Amino acid sequence: MKNKEKLRKRKNKLSLNTRLTLLIGIVVFGSILLASGLSAFIEWLFPHVSKIPILIQINILSLFIAVIAARFLSNHFFNPIKVLRESILKVADGDFGICIETKSTSSEIQEIFEGFNLMAKELASTEILQTDFVSNVSHEFKTPINAIEGYTTLLQSTENIDEVENEYIEKILFNTKRLSSLVSNILLLSKIENQSIQTHREKFSLDEQIRETIVALEQGWTEKDIYLDVELENIDYFGTETMMYHIWSNIIGNAIKFSPRGGNIKIKLFKEDEHIVFTVEDEGPGLSEQTQKHLFDKFYQEDSSHKQDGNGLGLALVKKLVTMSDGEVFAENIDNVGCRFTVKLDV
């Protein structure tokens, strides 16, 4: 009944085309009428103007009036389009809670706004359903994965296992750890996506945390014989220590993963104006144009064959955590070789 009532009301309203046609006609007729009156008034006020032909006077004045009127009318008609454009950009950035309104009496514009609000509402519902589903499934996966990993570790420590069997066991362990890492990242991402602010904030040494992260990743950079050039200023930061660790771990871990054997990685931490700046430079293959567009998207991986370890969630986590800290993160290719990741935080 409500929908029928809305449709009946809209049918009684003039369409956008009809309104535009009428308004243009009114503007043209009104411009000529006003121009004629102004022309007569100007001739009375300034007699020497009468030397200019009346038609030229009317044309000039009517054109001037029409431009002013068109300016006001364009604001009236195009402001809703500007509002819609800005809202579409917000939805593209993942903000599905947006709801827009219009004072326009045009039935077409009202229908577009209502359609947009309905779309945003449905997208929000889909996002919630997807997040809940992924979170619940990940929880269910966690226990059997841990069980497989535990029993496989026990099996590896038993006697009378030949080389082939040991190779199979190592492959099982490797893949269960990858799956366990994926599940952990999904659960963490699901947790922080439902968090708008950092919790358990405290003051801690940022440079010391980064050093601990480098040490924790020692196996990766020693196996590839990578040289680390580390310059860290003594900086204290007020934030969630456990969350910040994931930022450094993922960015430095990525640099190690994509650096060639025997390559160099430069890690810097310093203050610049009112910001804390953290940069990591590697000598890897750099970022393609396509990768730069989707670098921080969930599950995005440039290597579709998955030859490289990873699940495409690390940088999505980094982006979310840095945003929660009111900071920014971006990546860029270095002129010669490799790329640079930069994180900026407020002091």
Q: pLDDT-based confidence at 31, cuts 50/70/90?
A: low
Beta bridge partners of 279: 268, 342
Give backbone dihedrals phi and psi of 25, rounded to 5 degrees, phi first: -60, -45
291 Cα distance to chain centroid: 14
- The 10s digit of each residue's pLDDT in 178-216 is 787 777 777 777 766 665 555 578 899 999 999 999 999
The answer to whether 138 and 187 are in contact (CB under 8 A) is yes
Q: Please give the pLDDT value at position 292.
A: 80
Tell me the C-alpha distance between 99 and 339, whole Å. 39
Burial classification of residue 186, based on how many CB atoms lie within 10 Å of its CB (0-12 exposed, 13-18 middle, 19 or more buried):
buried
The answer to whether 258 and 285 are in contact (CB under 8 A) is yes
- The 10s digit of each residue's pLDDT in 47-77 is 665 555 656 655 666 666 666 666 666 666 6
Residues sharing a CB contact under 8 Å with residue 299, sequence separation 6 or more, in sequence order: 311, 312, 313, 316
Q: In the chain, pLDDT over 90 holds for what percent of residues? A: 21
> The whole model's pTM is what?
0.56
Q: Please give the pLDDT value at position 12.
A: 47
Residues sharing a CB contact under 8 Å with residue 197, sequence separation 6 or more, in sequence order: 324
For the CA atoms of the chain, what is the radius of gyration? 32
